Structure 1
Amino acid sequence: MKTIPQEILTNILARLPAKSIGRCRCVSKPWCHLLSEPHFIKAHLDLTKEFMDNERITLISSVSNTLFSTSITHHSSAEITSLATELSFVVAPDFWTEGMPSCDGLILIGNDANKRLLVNSTTNKTRELTVSPYALDPHGSFTMYGLGYDHVSDDYKVVTLSYYDTDNEYEPDCTEMFVNVYSVRNGTWKQAESSPYDHAVGHLVSGVFVGGFIHWLASRTSDYSSAIVRFDLTEEKFSELPAPSSVDGENFVLNRLAVLGGCLCMSPSNSQKETEIWVMKEYGVEQSWSKLLVVDQKASEFRPLMLISDQREVVMVKDEETVVEKLVVYNLDSATFKDITIQGAGDEFQVGGSFIETLVSPYYNDESRRV
């Protein structure tokens, strides 16, 4: 029997789902070594991102505080049913921000006031992050988180954006926005330049990673007008990204940012009959902002999560004005909704966010812990 050349074998196996790779590692020691090599993990990640056909959603049970994940695919029936899988290897997070930041299959969660975990739910690998020596006292401050990949240093980074509670008697006039950066490769924290923007604009939200930057909505300190600000993971500095020209420049700070089909998007955080979701089709190009219109006569509040069916259907979170959230699919061509029934997660849950299934390890710099 002829031996398959390693390059051809790599190209074949890199097209398999991440969970199937785990089973293939049991075939033989040479296969286990090959499928655990950094170049194979990178090749598998590149193909996964190219096809984006294994995106999953995280769910947190409001009753049992258990973490689940589920996948949503197109169905011709009037209602979509999806099975939730319990992620029992990690304690469910406190819902400390709107959403759980994710990048290349890694998810950042927190399970108490001082602990943060970086997990890959596909490989069941978990890493507890050290507490930043520059962190503010959590009892007198607020912190937002972001997670992204720096392609220059080949490193995943966790970014924290913190500011003192203005009602804090110890720091009553402090408005500085402190920025800390954690290197997954080195396992160390550093303090970056403080943000020149005002990020205390409402409820705490996770940063959105696109194009090498982590994005937040903020206010300019000069005139309090709204801005989309981005943190460069290589330069570790803030700058602005142009917003849609037709959006109110003073009030869009109350909107939400997300990622749809690999593109940055912005949507309102209030209920209305026509929800405008703006998608930046070409990153950094103001003229590429494109409007997706969601029509709902009940004037519900929606949060976009991901695209399916060749990007013609949007999976969204529907706010029911309770602790319960619902998932729906909106068809952009027919302007119709489909309800999504989640089996196995209970009737009451909150939606954390979406992620892709990869082999990327939270111990990115440690070869012995990559697999």
Structure 2
Amino acid sequence: MDSLSGIFPSNVIVEILACLPARPLVRCRCVSKSWRSLLSEPYFVTKWLNRGGTSLLVVPLEWENRDKCSLVFESVSIGKENLTLPLRNRLFSLSVVGSSGDSALICLTGLSYVRRSASKLAVILWNPFTGEVKALGNEGFIYCHHRPLCSESLIQGYSSGCCNQYHVHGFGYEPNARDYKVVRITYSRGIARPGDSLIRPWHVEVYSLRKDTWTSLGRTFFKRMIRGNSRAFVNGSVHWLTSPTEDAPYDSIVAFGMEEESFGEVIELPRLESLSQFSLNPRGKATLSVSCGSLALIAFGIWNREECGIWVMKEYGVAESWTKQHHIVLPIGSTVRGALGLTGHGKILLRMIDEKLVCCDVEDMQISEIGIQGGSPESSFDVIDLGGGDPTLRNQAGRGSPLTVLNLQ
């Protein structure tokens, strides 16, 4: 920097360095002591993390690759980097529940084999910036009569006919208590064999990271069907699409408030005339996401999976404020298996029928391949948007991990 300062002002050099991707930036630390000092400054790291690009963390769901994640930068063409998820247990079928606002804490669920008809469910908190992993204990079970490693209910979000029990989760932050929480709803058929009784919500639990305990809320008055984990934390609550019965299409949204630790009022979906050409059948892959801090609904066409609509609730809790923000028509042959959410930079992540992960700009509908190829039709990866964060920098800003800081306060 000393030699360049006579050519470029120091603020210009900082702007140039802040635009570099992770690997060249790390190499720049070896140029001189002054560069190493600059690149270690918290203000520079914060500036780099908040640059225009977005990093996507791709979590593999297959056992063979279960400890290898991919880090992909959306707007910087550096390809992908591998990031190891340091799991001690033999977990498979990982699924992302949610993440903290700064992506310093990611909540995952996973299964481990127990015996022929049962798998054990684990809930994990992971800080990708420090490598810390915390298993939350109180492990539940999924009982399946047809196969020993049934992951359909956990990952795909369906109540498959072979399972007597499954769980759905939500993850969020309570600012007043400065506490991260996980809510788990257990659905069960009791002791009846599949087909003999309806599956229904049976039990609700909440985990507090500050207290490091699970609290049972007991049997719940909540009777609606939820399929899959919540990916929409808005207004202090986690949200799920719901239906009145096991086989019915989605007809509303239910919210669980982290501060109150209770279910709120049911939120209405956009008006039926707005949704007339879109499918709300659970197997149609309609899902909830977050767009610029607002609740968003993603739904696909009834007759084809090349058409997608995105609605945003402009005023939280007000059904009349639902606005159809985007109508995406993909090129013919670009059949979508499911949406994995929206990024913070106006793009939708899609898992295609050929198991490729692609990113589609909601404004110009330009599709770009991310470079991830799944190997199985049964949900081969999950994705979380880390914003501008890059775990390979290993917390150079000196931030403490929520896994340790919260428990020391």
Residues 148 and 213, structure 1, Cα contact 8 Å, conserved in 2: yes
Aligned to 2:100: 103
Q: 1:365 to 1:88 in 2, by over 3 A?
A: closer
Q: Determine if contact 1:185/1:363 at 8 Å carries over to the other structure.
A: no
Where in structure 1 are there 5+ consecutive unaligned residues? Answer: 1-14, 28-34
Aligned-residue offset at 1:337: 1.7
Q: Name 1:292's counterpart in structure 2.
A: 326
Distance 2:365 2:54 in 1: 25
Name the amino acid aligned to 2:268: P
Contact 2:61 2:94 (C-alpha < 8 Å) held by counterparts: no
TM-score (norm 2): 0.64
User: How does 1:1-371 map onto structure 2 within 5 Å?
Assistant: 53-60=53-60, 62=62, 63-74=64-75, 82-90=79-87, 93-95=91-93, 97=95, 99-104=96-101, 105=103, 106-109=105-108, 110-112=110-112, 113-131=120-138, 138-139=142-143, 140-165=164-189, 168-169=192-193, 172=197, 175-192=200-217, 194=220, 196-200=222-226, 203-220=227-244, 226-239=251-264, 240-245=266-271, 246-247=274-275, 252=280, 254=282, 255-268=286-299, 271-286=304-319, 287-296=321-330, 297-298=332-333, 300-301=335-336, 302-307=338-343, 310-311=345-346, 314-320=347-353, 325-342=355-372, 350-356=380-386, 357=389, 359=399, 360-367=401-408
Query: How far apart in 2 are the matches of 1:111 and 1:152?
Result: 33
Summarize the Cα distance change of 1:190–1:128 in structure 2 as closer, same or farther, 3 Å threshold: same
Q: Is the 8 A contact 1:218 1:253 kept in 2?
A: no
C-alpha change, 1:55 and 1:149, in structure 2 (3 Å) is farther
CA distance in 1, matches of 2:51, 2:263: 31
Count of residues in Structure 1 that have an aligned counterpart in Structure 2: 316
**Distance change (3 Å), C-alpha of 1:169 and 1:249:** farther
The CA RMSD measured in Å over matched residues stands at 4.2
Whether the 8 Å contact between 2:279 and 2:300 is mirrored in structure 1 is no
Pair 213,248 (structure 1): closer, same or farther in 2 beyond 3 Å: farther
State the 1:167 CA deviation.
7.7
2: distance between equivalents of 1:167 and 1:251? 33
Measure the CA separation in 1 of the matches of 2:375 and 2:193.
42
Cα deviation, residue 220, structure 1: 3.8
Paired residue type of 1:233: M
Alpha carbons of 1:207 and 1:268: their partners in 2 closer, same or farther (altered >3 Å)?
Answer: same
CA contact (8 A) 1:100 1:353 kept: no
In structure 2, how many angstroms separate the alpha carbons of the residues matched to 1:52 and 1:130?
A: 38
2:171, 2:238 within 8 Å by CA — same for their partners in 1?
yes
Alpha-carbon shift at residue 121 of structure 1 (Å):
1.1
Q: Distance in 2 between matches of 1:211 and 1:61?
A: 30
Greater CA drift, 230-239 or 107-116? 107-116
* Structure 1 residues 299 and 341, CA gap change in structure 2 (3 angstroms): closer
% same residue: 21
Q: What letter corresponds to residue 116 of structure 1 in structure 2? A: V
- Deviation of residue 281 (structure 1)? 4.2
Instruction: Render the CA deviation track for 1:167-201: whole Å, top value 9, x for unaligned.
Output: 8349946634421000110011112262523225x
Deviation at 1:90, TM superposition (A): 2.6
Q: How much does 1:141 deviate?
A: 1.3
Give yes or no for contact 1:101–1:108 (8 Å, CA) kept in 2. yes
For the structure 1 residues 280 and 253, does the alpha-carbon distance in structure 2 shift closer, same or farther, using more than 3 Å as the test? farther
Q: TM-score, normalised by structure 1?
A: 0.70
Larger Rg: 2
In 2, the alpha carbon distance for the partners of 1:213 and 1:121 equals: 24
CA distance in structure 2 between the partners assigned to 1:233 and 1:277 by the alignment: 26
8 Å CA contact 1:281–1:289 kept in 2: the answer is yes
Distance 1:149 1:354 in 2: 17
- Measure the CA separation in 2 of the matches of 1:249 and 1:230: 26
Distance 2:217 2:277 in 1: 28
Question: Which one is further off, 286-295 or 175-184?
Answer: 286-295
Structure 1's 72 and 263: CA in aligned 2 closer, same or farther, altered over 3 A? farther
| Secondary structure of 1:118 counterpart | strand
